Amino acid sequence: MDIGREIDRLKKERAAVILAHNYTAPEIQDIADFVGDSLELSRKAAACRAPVIVFCGVKFMAETAKILSPEAVVLHPNPNSGCPMADMADSAAVAAYRKAHPDTVIVAYVNTTAATKTHVDICCTSGNAEKVIASIPKEKRILFLPDANLGRNLAKKLNRPMELWPGFCPTHNRILPEWIAAARAAHPGATVLVHPECLPATVALADRALSTGGMLKFVRESAETEFVIGTETGILYRMKKENPEKKFYPLEPEPICPNMKKITLEDVLFALQDLSPRIELDPETIALARIPIDRMLEVRP
């Protein structure tokens, strides 16, 4: 059986749309209707009228799609594909913080569970975090969760003090400044892009810190022809495909998010055959978690 052809046939039969994150495996990106970063995928999910969404990304992303398209059946082909950083902001702990600090604005990176989103004021992604924080009145105290690296990088860039939750991305937190120095030595003249989930000392050595969507736009529009890419290496597939005349180098050792790589073509096929595994959220969670996501989407892009 040609698995790609069968996925295509079932996708049409189910009137399904396949959304995939920039870090997923090449064969997943190839069968997707849309590949993007967290913000772009949220916008797609919100605008999506399809009765079935197959979400190829980690669990919080599929939950966000369900929150934004509650009428749709949202399939998460491998339920074991989670985001360890999202699990670092436990919903009970965030609820307790909310109770103790009613006047603090809680800004939640979209990398949080649906349950945690029910206790926060506004969400952001790495693609819109600067604009989201700038939309909060200066006199307000902010708690940023769960990524302390992203929070610290934003606080420095925007000159805005923020309280930080002690979370981190195991993949990006491991990208050491030495790796950037080594990449610069190996590829002198290349522009170095990193993700803002990296350590501040790592970001300090890069030319730009951008979301995955921001990186793709930057390399497309840049007159430069060589780039060192300081994020999960799944993104290099799309970069090379869209810019065949440019050169892209991963860091050494290559940063991999094992959870993004858990989703296989077989998982997608079985999900379309069985209409399972589904993201199931109770109506109250959907209604409450939608508030901070809608606030984020209302912030001018």
State the residues that interact with ligand 13P by CB under 6 A. Answer: 22, 37-39, 111, 125-127, 169, 195, 197, 211-212
The answer to whether residue 58 forms part of the interface with ligand SF4 (CB under 6 A) is: yes
Residue 230 to residue 181: CA distance in whole angstroms: 12
In terms of DSSP bridges, do strands 122-124 and 105-109 run parallel, antiparallel, or are they unpaired? parallel
38 binds, among ligand SF4, ligand 13P, none (CB under 5 to 8 A by kind): ligand 13P
The answer to whether residue 19 forms part of the interface with ligand SF4 (CB under 6 A) is: no
In the complex, minimum distance from the CB of residue 25 to ligand SF4, in angstroms, rounded to a whole number: 13
Q: Which helix (H) or strand (E) holds 201?
A: helix 200-205
Comparing CA positions, the residue from 51, 53, 61, 58 lying closest to residue 32 is 53
Tokens 């495909």 sit on residue:
241
| Residue choice 39, 75, 85, 133 for contact with ligand SF4 (CB under 6 A) | 85
- Nearer to ligand SF4 by C-beta: 4 or 200? 200
The interface region with ligand SF4, picked from 157-165, 207-215, 253-261, 284-292 by CB under 6 A, is: 253-261
259 binds, among ligand SF4, ligand 13P, none (CB under 5 to 8 A by kind): ligand SF4
What is 10-62 written as a DSSP string? Answer: HHHHHTEEEEEETTS-HHHHHH-SEEE-HHHHHHHHHH---SEEEEES-HHHH
Q: Which helix (H) or strand (E) holds 124?
A: strand 122-124
Helix/strand/coil for 247:
strand
149 binds, among ligand SF4, ligand 13P, none (CB under 5 to 8 A by kind): none
- Nearer to ligand 13P by C-beta: 8 or 33? 33
In the complex, minimum distance from the CB of residue 211 to ligand 13P, in angstroms, rounded to a whole number: 3
Of residues 153 through 212, those in contact with ligand SF4 by CB under 6 A are: 169-172, 197
Chain-centre distance for alpha carbon 105: 22
- Nearer to ligand SF4 by C-beta: 197 or 267? 197
Scored b (16 or more CB within 10 A) or e, 195-213 reads bbbbbbebbebbbbbbbbb
The answer to whether residue 56 forms part of the interface with ligand SF4 (CB under 6 A) is: no
| Residue choice 48, 54, 75, 83 for contact with ligand SF4 (CB under 6 A) | 83
Chain-centre distance for alpha carbon 21: 7
The residues binding ligand SF4 (CB under 6 A) are 58, 83-85, 111, 169-172, 197, 232, 257, 259-260
